[in-house]
Each structure stands twice: as structure tokens, then as C-alpha cells.
């Protein structure tokens, strides 16, 4: 009989892990708290490392068609004058894939269709998990299942992690975040690039995700007294940024705090393991949250290809993945602090340093991020 693996959470990490295991011949069931797989969470940039995984899973073409290729990543000042430019063309040539900006809901739909909805159980919010000879999982609707193998892909506030793993500290970056999607004709020079504009204690990023749609995000220091009106908050920023804000219906704006998970030493325990944000939630400053979850799935799949059984691969997966994932978490945390300097002189010094960073520093970081374990 084929071994059954039960995955908690149908986010990008859970779905990619499920698809990987299914392609390796395992029987997979997903339990998702939401009543439907629907377009939430605005946009996402799938960096080169994530697209390498999707290429191996046979999804590169579908994702590229549903999204928009990104060939440059730019950090700019508040007037969109570049401070740091990363040209991704050498990585496109090296790995045969591009960075792709896409609606998060579109990506989830592609993955869910590939897995098959008969493997996805909706409206199943996990409330309790007990470890006996088998795991006993209890859901909010009072239904229960027993499972030999469980993968927790249930996000930064993971029930699986909170109930089965001791070490656990969420960190608040003290930043307010707004995310939105609008329909706007962006000037052509922005079509294949991500721009993130840094000001005093605030920043604004935007990227085209389809023919007409633009995904954007805005952050401020939460300790500073900021009005609710985004146009007022970003009034000194470039007019193109103000146009994007104006074009966005209030209903298309999501607000959240910026949190991460202080690195933990254990992601697995026997027949249970954590993937994605459950294991190593990061702030969004390197654009690697979902990408690292996708890499988790890739490494588990690679171990299965080597003949390691699903029961025995979790410890090896943790050993292979932990250093890189924690480097991403810590680097992203530090970068977020740098981006949010409020002092005028500090901003000038920061911008000057960013402009004069040697290209080798950017290349070293990109090499680390894009190289699959």
C-alpha cells in the first residue's frame, strides 16, 4: 500500500510539497482551514531558485504565462533614482529560468489544479495534534484523523509547531505593511523590473504581474505616527508611486504587521516535520518567504529520489536546509532595519553606501540565494 502523507495547510509551501510527493508516487492529503482556494495575498515574486524547482516539476511554462518575467531588481531613493541595480540576465542564462512576478492566487490555482482538488480537504482548521503511536489530528468541526506521517505547512502561527515543538518565538519588526493590486498602464521602462523606493522610515515597492495588473507593497515604521491615508504618507515620493496608490480600490488593499520566526533548532521529530513559514518564517525584505518553502519541497523530493524513505528523510532535510533558510531570515531582518532608517543624515549615508556597494557583494548574495541546496 502506498504510504499516505497528511499535509496541514494549502499555501504555496504545502501545495508545492504535496505536488512533489505526488510526483514521487506518494498518496498525499492536504487539510486547509479556508473554505476555498481563492486569490488572497496580492502578488508574489518567484525568484530564480523557486522557478528552478517549478521547472523540475514541469510548471515553468504555466507560471510564466500567468505572470510577468522580471529581469532587473532595483532599490531606489524616494524619487525612483537607482541606489542598487541587480541585472538578472546572467542567472537567466545560467539556470534557464527567469524571476516571475505573479498573483499569489494564480500560483495557488495552478498548483491545486496540478495536484487535483480530490486531494485537498477545505474548511479543515487544525485545532489539536497529539502524538501517540499515530498522530491524532482534531479539526475545528470536531472531525479527527489518524496519521503516521504529518507535514506542518500551516504558516507562521503553525498549530503543528506550537503543539509539538518546544522552541518558538515570533518577532515583530515594528513595521506596518500595506499590500495591494491595481489596474494601471505602467510606463514601459517598469515592465520587467521590480522597483523598491526607500525614503525616511518608509518604502514602497511595485512590480507588474500581468498585462494590466500591478502588485505593490508599502511599509512604514509602526512607532511613527502615520495617517491612514497612504497618499499622505507617501506624498514626497515619485508621482508614479502616487498614481499607483490612487489607482487601487480600498477593497484591494491588505494590511498586516511584519513578523518573523526567531530561528529554531528543530524542524522535525520522527514522522513529523515543518516546512515553509512553519519552520523559518522570514520578513519579506529579500522576497524569499515562499521561495524558501518551495526549496523545502525540492530537498524532500531530492532525498526521495535518492531512495531515502519519507519516514527517514525529515532529519536529512533539516540538516540540508537549515543553514541557508536561517541565513535568509537573519539577512532579511537586518535589511529591513537598514531600509527603515528615519534620521535624515542616516538616510543620506545609507543611500551613498548602497550606491557604492561593489557589484561582487550583490553577486555573492544572489549566488547564495539562487543556488539550490
Listed in sequence order, the residues at least 6 apart from 171 whose beta carbon sits closer than 8 Å to its beta carbon are: 259, 260, 261, 262, 333
Q: Is residue 224's pLDDT more than 60?
A: no
Alpha-carbon gap, residue 299 to 323, rounded angstroms: 13
Of the listed ranges 29-43, 53-67, 137-151, 177-191, the least confidently predicted one is 29-43
Is 337 contained in some domain? yes
pLDDT at 212: 87
pLDDT at 1: 45
Q: Which domain holds residue 275?
A: 4-170+260-370
- Between helices 104-115 and 12-23, what is the axis angle to 10°? 30
**How do residues 96-131 score in pLDDT, each as one tens digit?**
999 999 999 999 999 999 999 999 999 999 999 999
**How do residues 281-305 score in pLDDT, each as one tens digit?**
999 999 999 999 999 999 999 999 9
Is 74 contained in some domain? yes
Is 94 contained in some domain? yes
**Domains held by the chain: number:** 1
pTM of the prediction? 0.95
Is 309 contained in some domain? yes
Alpha-carbon gap, residue 150 to 356, rounded angstroms: 48
Is 43 contained in some domain? yes
Is 30 contained in some domain? yes
> Residue 23 sits in a domain of what CATH number?
3.50.50.60
Alpha-carbon gap, residue 285 to 309, rounded angstroms: 35
As a whole-number percent, the residues of the chain with pLDDT over 90 amount to 88
What mean pLDDT is predicted for residues 132-136? Answer: 94
Nearest CA among 352, 137, 171, 351 for reference residue 258 = 171
Count CA within 13 A, CB hemisphere, residue 43. 28
Catalogue the long-range contacts made by 299-304 (C-beta closer than 8 Å, 24 or more residues apart): 299/373, 300/17, 300/20, 300/21, 300/275, 301/20, 301/21, 301/23, 301/24, 304/21, 304/24, 304/26
**How do residues 33-62 score in pLDDT, each as one tens digit?**
998 877 666 899 999 999 999 999 999 999
Alpha-carbon gap, residue 260 to 156, rounded angstroms: 7
Is 254 contained in some domain? no
Q: Is residue 320's pLDDT more than 60?
A: yes
Is 202 contained in some domain? no
| pLDDT tier at 226, thresholds 50, 70, 90 | low
**How do residues 60-91 score in pLDDT, each as one tens digit?**
999 999 999 999 999 999 999 999 999 999 99
Amino acid at each position: 500500500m502506498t504510504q499516505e502523507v497528511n499535509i496541514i495547510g494549502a499555501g504555496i509551501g504545502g501545495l508545492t510539497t504535496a505536488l512533489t510527493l505526488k510526483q514521487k508516487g506518494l498518496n498525499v492529503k492536504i487539510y486547509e482551514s479556508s473554505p476555498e482556494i481563492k486569490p488572497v495575498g496580492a502578488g508574489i515574486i518567484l525568484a530564480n531558485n523557486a522557478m528552478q524547482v517549478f521547472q523540475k516539476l514541469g510548471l515553468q511554462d504555466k507560471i510564466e504565462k500567468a505572470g510577468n518575467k522580471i529581469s532587473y531588481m532595483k532599490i531606489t531613493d524616494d524619487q525612483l533614482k537607482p541606489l542598487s541595480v541587480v541585472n538578472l540576465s546572467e542567472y537567466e542564462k545560467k539556470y534557464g529560468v527567469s524571476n516571475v512576478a505573479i498573483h499569489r492566487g494564480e500560483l495557488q490555482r495552478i498548483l491545486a489544479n496540478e495536484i487535483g482538488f480530490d486531494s485537498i480537504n477545505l474548511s479543515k482548521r487544525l485545532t489539536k495534534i497529539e502524538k501517540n503511536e499515530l498522530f491524532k489530528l482534531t479539526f475545528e468541526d470536531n472531525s479527527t484523523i489518524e496519521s503516521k506521517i504529518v507535514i506542518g505547512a500551516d504558516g507562521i502561527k503553525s498549530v503543528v509547531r506550537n503543539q509539538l515543538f518546544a522552541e518558538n518565538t515570533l518577532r515583530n519588526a515594528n513595521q506596518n505593511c500595506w499590500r495591494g493590486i491595481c489596474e494601471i498602464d505602467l510606463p514601459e521602462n517598469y515592465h520587467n523590473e521590480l522597483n523598491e523606493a526607500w525614503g525616511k522610515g518608509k518604502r514602497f515597492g511595485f512590480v507588474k504581474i500581468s498585462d494590466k495588473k500591478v502588485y505593490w507593497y508599502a511599509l512604514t515604521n509602526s512607532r511613527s505616527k502615520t495617517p491612514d491615508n497612504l497618499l499622505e504618507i507617501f506624498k514626497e515620493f515619485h508621482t508614479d508611486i502616487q498614481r499607483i496608490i490612487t489607482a487601487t480600490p480600498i477593497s484591494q488593499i491588505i494590511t498586516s504587521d511584519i513578523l518573523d520566526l526567531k530561528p529554531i533548532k528543530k524542524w522535525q521529530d520522527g514522522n513529523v516535520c515543518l516546512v515553509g513559514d512553519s519552520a523559518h518564517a522570514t520578513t519579506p525584505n529579500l522576497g524569499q518567504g515562499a521561495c524558501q518553502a518551495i526549496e523545502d519541497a525540492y530537498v524532500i523530493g531530492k532525498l526521495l529520489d535518492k531512495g531515502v524513505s519519507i519516514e527517514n528523510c525529515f532529519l536529512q532535510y533539516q540538516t540540508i536546509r537549515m543553514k541557508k533558510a536561517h541565513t535568509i531570515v537573519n539577512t532579511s531582518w537586518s535589511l529591513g532595519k537598514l531600509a527603515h532608517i528615519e534620521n535624515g543624515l542616516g538616510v543620506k549615508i545609507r543611500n551613498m553606501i548602497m550606491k557604492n556597494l561593489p557589484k561582487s557583494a550583490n553577486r555573492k548574495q544572489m549566488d547564495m540565494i539562487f543556488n539550490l541546496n
